[in-house]
Structures are given as structure tokens and as C-alpha cells.
Structure 1
Amino acid sequence: MPSQQNITAAGFALAASAILSFIDNFVASVAEEAGLWQFQVFRTMFALPMLLVASRMMGRPLRPVNHKGLIGRSLIVSVGLLIYFASLGNLPVAQAGAGLFSAPLWVALLTVFLFRQRLGAIGIVAVVLGFVGALMLLQPEFRNFTTLSLMPLAAGLFYGLGMMLTRHWCADENPITLAIGIFLSIGIAGVVMLGAVTLWPGEEFISLPWVEPSGRFLVLTVFQAFGAVVAVTLIAQAYRIGSPAVVAVFEYSFLIFACLWASLLWNTATNPLAWAGIVIILISGLLMAFTQRRTPNATASVRIRL
């Protein structure tokens, strides 16, 4: 029988996934008002004070334990998240999320190549299934293959690398400190890139220059920041009280919620192949969780999606 703490942690993970998948459905609406970099600058400005309040409520110190490790981890994870948000300007949330949730699979592969750890038969099956499921969700058109087709998987690669390094560089950090580090990295990158695209503007979400913020843009951005902070707090609490292997599996509900929200909000149907891909990804997640429970240092990892 699962412990009461694991049941509560699973509930927190489900709530966090429902919130994140809901707010991410509105990134395409943000793209109608402003570019990626302006969105990230304003999102950081709104989120940081909220995170400070959340930290006070949780009663945990924000001072970093490993400054260099925190900076390195924040930069790597930020690259993955920025690629993910750039994908959201052109792809449905479930498809972009499929790439991001390939992160555990990248972690498994990187662990083999960087740390010479054996993956095992179950781990190999989980990796293969995960990538197959991600491709079924992404459904790339190979005849019209572009860089955009690889963006979600690239997001998963960088995000997964950052999560893996969390165990080695930031295992003792406060989860809110980790979140603040990512927001600061994204905000600084946003300022730099916003200046660049304002000088050399383009027409895509990723290259739109500075525009006068509209009321709709500000409301959507505050909404995004608030939802992200609430979700971060929930998932941090989930990992604090529950088994990481259990919580990680319930985070995969993000893909299911993303499809459900898209249907409810925009009347966007998910085809049978995509639903089959979600099922396969869930099976892959269960297998990865099983292998993690057999790995002593797996529990040192901390995952935060912003």
C-alpha cells in the first residue's frame, strides 16, 4: 500500500502538472502580443517577488550552498526552457511538452556516456519507448523537416542535462533558490536578446522586437508568472515529502492535461496516434521510475519545471 505521504505528494504533482499545462496553453496568446524575450523579461519581473514571498511562507533560507554549481545549472536548464517556450509559439503544448519530457531519457543516456553507469535492460527499453512515444506525439513531417521539428527534443536534452547536474552540483539547495536561479538566468538572457532583436528584428515569436506592452500582454504574463510560482511550490513540496520516483511518474500527467486543456479551451482534438504516444511515454516513465528506485543516488535529484 502506498504511504499517505506518497499519496499527498502525487496529488501535489498532479496539481502542478494541471496548472503548468493550463498556463502553457496561453503562450500562443502571448505570442500575438509580444515576442519571446519581452515575455520572459516581464515574466521574471513578476515571478521573483512571488518566489520571495513563497520562500518566506515555507520558512527556508535562500542563500545558495554552491554558487558556481547553481549558476551553471541555472544556465543549462534555462536554455532548455527557452527552447521549450520558443516551441510553444508554434506548436501545441502537448507536442512541445513531449520533447521536454524526453528529459529523463536524455538523463539516462548522458549518465551512461558521462558517468559510465550501466543502464540495464529495463532502462534501455524505457529509453527506446520514451523516444518512440515522443515521436508519436510530435509527429514530425520528414518531408518538410525543419529546425523547428527538433526544438522540443533539444529542449529535453538541455533540461535533462540540467536535472542530472542538480544531483551533482545542487543537491543541498533550497528548491525555491533553484527556481530563482532559473528565473534570473532567463530574465538576464531575455534582456540581452531583447536588445538584439530590437536592433535586428524579425517576424517570428523568437525574433520579435520590443513593443509597447498591452493590457492583455501584462495580464497574460502575470497569469503565467503566478501559475509557475504556484506550480513550483507544489512540486517542491511533492519532492520534499514523497518518493522522487513516484512523483516523477505523476509529473507525466502534464501531457494528458495539456491535451485535455487544448480540447476544452480551443476545441483542439488530439488524434489517436498522439494518445497512443502519451500512453507509451507513461509506460516509459514507470519503467524509468522502477530503475531509479533501484539506484541509490537517484533520490538526490530535484526536478523543477518553470
Structure 2
Amino acid sequence: MSTDADNRRGAGLMMASMAAFTINDVFVKAAATDLSLGQILLLRGVIAIAVLLLLARRFHALRRVPARDARLIALRCAAEIGAAYFFLTALLALPIANVTAILQSVPLTVTLCAALFLGEAVGWRRWSAIAAGFVGMLLITRPGTGDFTLASVYVLIAVGFVTLRDLVTRRMSVAVPSLLVTLSAAIAVTLFSVGLTAVQGWSPMTPRLSGLVLGSALFVTAGYFLSVAAMRVGDVGAVAPFRYTSLIWALVLGWAVFGEWPEPLTFAGAAIIVGAGVFTLRRGRAVRTQTRIPAGSGPRPR
């Protein structure tokens, strides 16, 4: 059981991770005015792989894993490719805060799919939070209006891929090093970007573009490393809610860098998603604690 100091440290690491991921998104969005998505992913991937390889060697994460875990890693890599492509494609067309807000529904979709496909028990409180979260998604995407575009569909597809990725990760053995999983995903996305670049083309690099791509690679690598560290330091239920601080970064950076500011309905939808997500994470933590109560104490309400 983590101490309060561990949880505070984990919360700090998670907030730093979310800041790094959002800054990476800003670099990608800025570079995409002159470079194709495939080229950005390819260049960023090469740098990220080099950094992750050094870290994996440093922490002895390069090892053989059981066949079952190897299959799960392969499936997770496929989900990572889909998530990266659809999320970043949507990011280039939509305000960064809108895309970030919709992505915050992932804890809700993971809980939903875990109940439907993995047989995890979910009570009426979390079902209600999931329903509220989907209402929030509707307020942001507004299907049936002019604001609902192909990019809106892409970000919803990205949520599906991230959900699959997280569910697969939960099925892996605890003996599988997190750095190995992250490195495998980086290699898979980079290989995918080679084909994407062949279709989308290659543009000349300038010092400005090189700086943007380098910044993207460094911040996305830092984000992954910090998020892994955060989840290993504190309790999941105490640390995970701080992932929502990425929305604050998205609002500030979207306004400061791109002049984007969400509409009131987007703010309302984001608030609902964040509230529902935090409740779901907290409730899940409480339920897991209750299930560790000795037999004979009787079931607790969910």
C-alpha cells in the first residue's frame, strides 16, 4: 500500500507526464503545417526509439517474454498504431482542447468494456457515470450539426483504439517490463509511418521544423517515462485522476499557440467527462479495496 507521500509524488509525476504529452501535441500540430503526418511520426519515432533503447538497456528491460505476453504486446502495438494515426489526424483538424477532452473519456470506455467483455463487476454508480460521460462526449462532438466532421469520427475511433490498448495492457503479466512494452509500441508506430510517408510524401527539413520534431520526440518520450513512473509510485486510484490536468494544458496552449478557444458546450461536455471519469476511478479504487475485506464480511454496495 502506497503512503501519502508516495501518492503525492505519483500525482506530481502524472501531472508532469500530462504536460509533456500535451506539449508534444503542440509540436506535432505546429510541424504539420509543413510536414506530412507520416514524416513527423517517422522522424519522431527514430529519435524516441533511440532514447527508449538506452533506457531499456539501462533498466534491463530487454528480455524474452512468454508467448502469451508476446501476443498481447503485438495486439497492443496494433492498437497503438490505430490510436496514433486517428488521434493525430483529428488533432490536425480540430482544436487541441476538443480532442483532448474527448480522449479523457478513456477511463469510462475501459470500465465499460471491462464489464462487457472481461466480466468485471460494475455497479449502478459507475454505470451512471459512464452514461454521463457519453452525454459529455455528445456535447463536444455534437453529431448532426455542422461541427460534426470526419475529424470528429476520427477522434472517437482513436478512443476505441486507446481503450483496446489499455484493456490489453491490463491482461499482461506484471513481469513484462513497461519500458519493453513502450519500446515495442514505438517501433511499431515508426514502421507504420514508413508506409504512411511513402503515400503522403517527404518535405525538406528546415531548422525550425527539425526543432519541432525533436521537441515532439523528447516530450512524448518523457511523457511515457513519467506516466510509467507515476503508476509505479502511488496507488492507481489516487494518481490516475491527475491525468485530467492535460485538459488544462490543452486549453492554455491551444489558446496561446493556435488562438483556439472552445465553445461553451465544449466546456460543459469536458466538465461532465472529467467529473464522471474522476468518480469512476475513485469508485473503482474503493471497490477494489472492499474486495480485499475478509470473507464473511458480506458484499458491499457498488
Identify the TM-score tier after normalising by the shorter chain. 0.7 to 0.9
The one of 276, 279, 285 equivalent to 2:277 is 285
Superposition deviation, residue 141 in structure 1: 5.8
d(CA) in 2 for partners of 1:262 and 1:85?
15
Question: Could you tell me the TM-score, scaled by structure 2's length?
Answer: 0.86
Q: Any residues of structure 2 matched to 1:207-222 within 5 Å, and which?
A: 208-222=200-214
The CA deviation string for residues 116-148 of structure 1, in whole angstroms up to 9 with x for no partner, is 333211111221222222333344562464332
Are positions 1:189 and 2:181 aligned together?
no
Question: Could you tell me the TM-score, scaled by structure 1's length?
Answer: 0.85
Superposition deviation, residue 156 in structure 1: 0.7
- 1:89 match: secondary structure: helix
Q: Which runs of 4+ in 1 moved over 4 A?
A: none
d(CA) in 2 for partners of 1:20 and 1:257?
10
Alpha carbons 1:256, 1:278 under 8 Å: kept: no
Superposition deviation, residue 102 in structure 1: 2.1
Aligned residue identity for 1:109:
L
Q: Where does structure 1 lack aligned partners over 5 or more consecutive residues?
A: 198-207, 298-306
**255-264 or 267-276: bigger deviation:** 267-276
Please name the residue that 1:35 is paired with: 36
* Identity value in percent: 26
The CA deviation string for residues 134-193 of structure 1, in whole angstroms up to 9 with x for no partner, is 333344562464332211111011101110111113543222112111111111111122
Judged with a 3 Å threshold, the aligned counterparts in structure 2 of structure 1 residues 141 and 224 are, in CA distance, closer, same or farther, namely farther
Please name the residue that 1:165 is paired with: 168
- 2:93 match: secondary structure: coil
Please name the residue that 2:51 is paired with: 50
d(CA) in 2 for partners of 1:276 and 1:141?
18
**186-195 or 266-275: bigger deviation:** 266-275
**126-135 or 248-257: bigger deviation:** 126-135
**180-189 or 69-78: bigger deviation:** 69-78
**90-99 or 168-177: bigger deviation:** 168-177
Q: Any residues of structure 2 matched to 1:233-272 within 5 Å, and which?
A: 233-272=225-264
Alpha carbons 1:96, 1:138 under 8 Å: kept: no
Count of paired positions: 285
Please name the residue that 1:201 is paired with: none
Judged with a 3 Å threshold, the aligned counterparts in structure 2 of structure 1 residues 139 and 11 are, in CA distance, closer, same or farther, namely farther
d(CA) in 2 for partners of 1:294 and 1:240?
19
Higher RCO structure, 1 or 2 (CA under 8 Å, sep 6+) = 2
Alpha carbons 2:52, 2:221 under 8 Å: kept: yes
Larger Cα-atom Rg: 2
Superposition deviation, residue 296 in structure 1: 4.0
Aligned residue identity for 1:52:
L
